[in-house]
Structure 1
Amino acid sequence: MPPPPGQTLPEPVLPGCHPDPTICFDGTRFVLVTSSFTYWPGLPVHVSDDLVHWEPAGHVLTHPGLPDLDGLDVSDGVWAPTVRCLDGVLHVVFTVARERRGAQTYLCTATDPAGPWSAPQPLETDGFDPALFLDVDGRCWFTACRDSRTPGAGPGELFLRELDRATGRLVGPEHVLWHGALSGAWVEGPRLLERDGRYHLVAAEGGTARHHAVTAATAPAVTGPWTTDPRSPLLTHRHLGADAPVQAVGHADVVDGPDGRTWGVVLGTRPVDGGHVLGRETFLVPAAWDEDGLVLAPGVGRLAPVPGVGVPAGPVVEDDLDWVGLRGPVEHTRTGTTHRLVPRPDPLTSRGRPGLVGRRQDTHTCTFAATIDTADLSGPTGLAAYQHQDAHLAVRVDPDPAGAHVVVEIVDDGGPHVLSRVPVEGSVRLELRTDGRTYRAGVLADGGFVEHAAVPHLRLATEHVGGFVGVLLALVAQGPDGSAPVTFTDVQHVREVADEGVQP
């Protein structure tokens, strides 16, 4: 559905797979952290002076093996962090999920967003979507969500314990706070706030798909009793219908800037023809307070364009912090547009650590390309649009003593399917292209793109695949342990046109 004449669509401040945003002000700048699942390094940290332009600062999780992500589904792993600056020290709490269940919650600290961050310290608690709140009396409170333990209420509940910051341990009694505003819906993503002597609890309900919503409750004390804010949901796009250009809006966090203005960040998706491949992205929304509590998108009630927000077309300026592997460190170096990647034996279909390094696809229309020498490859080597271990499209060179071939393969719920197999020798430039509706794989030859195969984008969409992530545009190299590094030259990621050119 195109925007009305003279209007543009809201765009994310962090495009691509940057879900579950959490934000604070550290006294100097805004700090934003998002979920990373099994991408490694984990928990990307971005900083900004104006909430509009964000720069990567580093990652919270850089200690190899901490936490252990081996064997996890791509959409398990590191879920829903919260960042807070407590007396000049940044604190991040997060949960590692296994089989879509919270397995272990951790705490990390740092004095600078760029790190170094402390090694993850386990917290003795259950549930997931943890958060911290510094009360006006100096006490620090921990809250999270879990399966309801209250007879007749649920299915989920939010609970509270005190965090002893000196020891990093949870202490004192546990308090059950709230079971949500929506009957029969899970309540998640709690954020505790205080305003003018009254406490506010902002949460996510309705799942992470199109019915996602921001709900709220209020209380006279942090331990309760909590009463549902009758204005819930405070923000949602579920009532806009299946054709809304931005959907699944929810999982809010709120920050007060040094100028006294309040802003919120939420996640949202931008589907095309009913399916999104960019993952859940971070959007900025104005906020305010009135006598009833928090107001998100005052006077508008939905996400709207923010001046200055938008992803330009043209070649992407790469940063080393943009590139991630899966489930642990990958041996990867970059000098300009030349990348060297050490092959690994794990295939892309495994739950191990394949030889893969990628960056989040952040626009619907783009080209991802690289040149490789087909000689002396130790195994399949090339490019992939990687959504999941069971859903990805690859264009690669398969070496063989009888002669190498450029192979295009799609892996989805029907298993692997070879779509094209063409002999090749010498140096070859591989390309993945997408116009927002179709991924095209092929080579650059005689100055033009030669398409070898094409697949609908819906085969890599979350609505088809499931899970919580978007597509990684990746360099891949498979081979036995001890294989020599593969060199990818002239690696380019080019945004072909502005996203407004693709309408759902």
Structure 2
Amino acid sequence: MPTFRNPVLPGCHPDPSICRVGEDYYLVTSSFAYYPAIPVFHSRDLVRWRQLTHVLNRPGQLPLQGLDVSDGVWAPTVRHHDGRFYVVSTLAVNRRGHLTFVVTADDPAGPWSDPVPLEAEGIDPSLFFDDDGRCWLTACRDAVTGGPGELWMRELDLDRLELAGPTHVLWQGAVRGAWVEAPHLYKRDGVYHLIAAEGGTERNHSVTAARAGAVTGPYVTDPRSPLLTHRHRGPDEPVHNVGHADLVDTPGGETWAVTLGVRPIDGTHTLGREVFLVPVGWTAHGPVFAPETGGVQLTERLPGLAAFSQPVAASRTSFDSPELGLEWSSLRGPVTDLIRPAAGGGLEIDAAPEPLGSTGVPAFVARRQQHVRCHVQARIGFSATLPSEEAGLAVFQNQDQHATLALTVDADGEARAVLTLREAGTSAVLATAPLTSGEAVLSVESDESGYTFRVQDCDTGRRLDLATVERPFFSTERAGGFVGVHLGLYATANGRAGGGRARVHWFDYQPAD
């Protein structure tokens, strides 16, 4: 039997949502405080995905400055109706829903509209288009009575893009005392199935369900809940934290779910929450997730769909195009005024005052780490004039937890490579190495045990291993938050103006898995 390898979207792609239009499938995930926001992916076989665009990719569409990396854009849902695509999502501030919005597009590759605010509290909004053409928004919020959370519904006027009519409280979940979130609604054989997530997005995460004969309820808990979870699995289970599922039917009548999960090593994970594909069957009682195995598998049978080819991404980025590829992100806003193609090839990065440890928009671009074993290197030239000026590679978990391997100078103005760790908001130098000039190949190699940082002096060819940082240092379990590691390029003058300009000749990301 043909199989595929999970996850289908490795690296930090949390909270997946999916829809189908004909033979085409479209998927979106959370982006938090990274910019552009809400990546959009396309597939024809549910296994191989190609990014098309970002939903929010224009300056000023959504305010992200000042936010922690794990705040920002949470849990989008994508749906298609009458030739138009809809995405609803939430801007989170201080880990709470701050603004719910909807955007639309006729083409999933864009352009997408500017966000339209909706009068909706809470997080995790979703849309359901009923057979009569009416559209309903569901979301979760603090429970008015009982607790601690509840799912609610209100009609969305598609002409005005405004919520209308009364609010209907649908359900408070199946797991007593657990927050219920991530509601998605489906209709099958005249029955409305409400799928949700409970137990938090960590080890107790799970998929639960309720059903009703009318769209507004009353909803009755599916007694089989949780329908999908790995909370009861032991520490050697390769996939944990399973939940936040969205369903899609194929033209041939199969049902599949996309769900998030993590792949821990010795109890910690660094890649973030990834997208896994799970088969779903149906019985008179409702959906059955992973009917053959009862859980999310690293190796799973292929959907009954034609294979979909996609180009293999090159490992080296030479920055020859005027714009960065879709795999690159900045923090909290565009950096086009700080980072640009260099004349003759490569990338120029201004050593702006904003440091990586701030909640502003630093001169920083990064891509997700998608493989536990990988090798990243970049040839960078930077002539610092002060020790406060630096440019180089960053292994970035969040603004308070990251490592930098930078070109700078010491107090005597001599060129050096410096490896710095920042944990819980405090920075400390771990290792240094002298250089003959301000140009070097900086590299980091990751595996199950740690991240090894190296430097090669471009003038002499001399290579030096600086240090290895244990892998759990960059884990969500140690750093907190909801994101995975990003690997990237940066420059900063650490609060000073006029810090010079770095030149990146090329950047390599080479998987070793």
Residue from 183, 188, 199 that aligns with 1:206 = 199
After TM superposition, list the pairs within 5 Å mapping 1:290-301 onto structure 2. 290-301=283-294
Give structure 2 stretches of 5+ with no counterpart.
Answer: 304-309, 318-323
Structure 1 residue aligned with 2:435: 424
Q: In the aligned structure 1, how far is the partner of 2:196 from the partner of 2:130?
A: 18
Moved over 4 A (4+): 311-315, 333-337, 445-449, 480-485
1:58 and 2:72 are equivalent in the alignment:
no
> Is residue 140–residue 150 contact of structure 2 (8 Å, CA) maintained in 1?
yes
Structure 2 residue aligned with 1:435: 447
CA RMSD in angstroms, aligned pairs only: 2.4
Q: In the aligned structure 1, how far is the partner of 2:368 from the partner of 2:472?
A: 17
Structure 2 residue aligned with 1:324: 329
> Is residue 312–residue 495 contact of structure 1 (8 Å, CA) maintained in 2?
no
Structure 1 residue aligned with 2:390: 380
> Is residue 88–residue 101 contact of structure 2 (8 Å, CA) maintained in 1?
yes
Q: Alpha-carbon deviation of 1:447?
A: 6.3
1:186 and 2:179 are equivalent in the alignment:
yes
Structure 2 residue aligned with 1:370: 378
Secondary structure of 1:464's match? helix
Structure 2 residue aligned with 1:474: 488
Q: In the aligned structure 1, how far is the partner of 2:295 from the partner of 2:183?
A: 21
Give structure 1 stretches of 5+ with no counterpart.
Answer: 1-7, 499-504
Structure 1 residue aligned with 2:248: 255
- CA deviation string 1:357-390 (max 9, x = no partner): 0000000011111111233678210001000111
Secondary structure of 2:265's match? coil
> Is residue 32–residue 72 contact of structure 2 (8 Å, CA) maintained in 1?
yes
Q: In the aligned structure 1, how far is the partner of 2:501 from the partner of 2:71?
A: 29
Structure 2 residue aligned with 1:306: 300
Moved more, 397-406 or 228-237: 397-406
Structure 2 residue aligned with 1:495: 511
1:317/1:398 CA distance change after superposition, 3 Å: closer
Q: In the aligned structure 1, how far is the partner of 2:508 from the partner of 2:25?
A: 30
1:486 and 2:502 are equivalent in the alignment:
yes
> Is residue 384–residue 408 contact of structure 2 (8 Å, CA) maintained in 1?
no
Q: In the aligned structure 2, how far is the partner of 1:87 from the partner of 1:344?
A: 47
Q: In the aligned structure 2, how far is the partner of 1:447 from the partner of 1:313?
A: 31
Letter in 2 for 1:275: T
> Is residue 77–residue 126 contact of structure 2 (8 Å, CA) maintained in 1?
yes
1:337/1:450 CA distance change after superposition, 3 Å: farther
> Is residue 41–residue 49 contact of structure 2 (8 Å, CA) maintained in 1?
yes
- CA deviation string 1:408-460 (max 9, x = no partner): 01111272110012221322111111112211112135768521121111111
After TM superposition, list the pairs within 5 Å mapping 1:62-211 onto structure 2. 62-150=57-145, 153-211=146-204
Q: In the aligned structure 1, how far is the partner of 2:511 from the partner of 2:302?
A: 18
Secondary structure of 2:32's match? coil
Letter in 2 for 1:460: F
Q: In the aligned structure 2, how far is the partner of 1:71 from the partner of 1:475?
A: 21
TM-score scaled by length of structure 2: 0.91
Residue from 436, 449, 466 that aligns with 1:452 = 466
1:183/1:407 CA distance change after superposition, 3 Å: same
> Is residue 374–residue 425 contact of structure 1 (8 Å, CA) maintained in 2?
no
Q: In the aligned structure 2, how far is the partner of 1:317 from the partner of 1:148?
A: 50
> Is residue 366–residue 433 contact of structure 1 (8 Å, CA) maintained in 2?
yes
> Is residue 235–residue 250 contact of structure 1 (8 Å, CA) maintained in 2?
yes
Residue-pair matches, total: 488
Q: In the aligned structure 2, how far is the partner of 1:83 from the partner of 1:301?
A: 27
Q: In the aligned structure 2, how far is the partner of 1:338 from the partner of 1:18?
A: 28
1:42 and 2:37 are equivalent in the alignment:
yes
Secondary structure of 1:248's match? strand
Structure 1 residue aligned with 2:321: none
Secondary structure of 1:320's match? coil
TM-score scaled by length of structure 1: 0.92
Q: Alpha-carbon deviation of 1:99?
A: 0.6
Residue from 443, 455, 479 that aligns with 1:465 = 479
> Is residue 255–residue 263 contact of structure 1 (8 Å, CA) maintained in 2?
yes
> Is residue 4–residue 302 contact of structure 2 (8 Å, CA) maintained in 1?
no
1:408 and 2:433 are equivalent in the alignment:
no
- CA deviation string 1:246-289 (max 9, x = no partner): 10000000011222211100000011111100000001111121
1:392 and 2:397 are equivalent in the alignment:
no
Q: In the aligned structure 2, how far is the partner of 1:481 from the partner of 1:256?
A: 55
After TM superposition, list the pairs within 5 Å mapping 1:281-296 onto structure 2. 281-296=274-289
After TM superposition, list the pairs within 5 Å mapping 1:351-366 onto structure 2. 351-366=359-374
Q: Alpha-carbon deviation of 1:312?
A: 13
Q: In the aligned structure 2, how far is the partner of 1:197 from the partner of 1:75?
A: 39
1:54/1:302 CA distance change after superposition, 3 Å: same
Secondary structure of 1:322's match? coil
Q: In the aligned structure 2, how far is the partner of 1:56 from the partner of 1:19?
A: 15
Q: In the aligned structure 1, how far is the partner of 2:168 from the partner of 2:266?
A: 44
- CA deviation string 1:185-207 (max 9, x = no partner): 00000000000100000000010
1:191/1:317 CA distance change after superposition, 3 Å: farther
Secondary structure of 1:459's match? helix
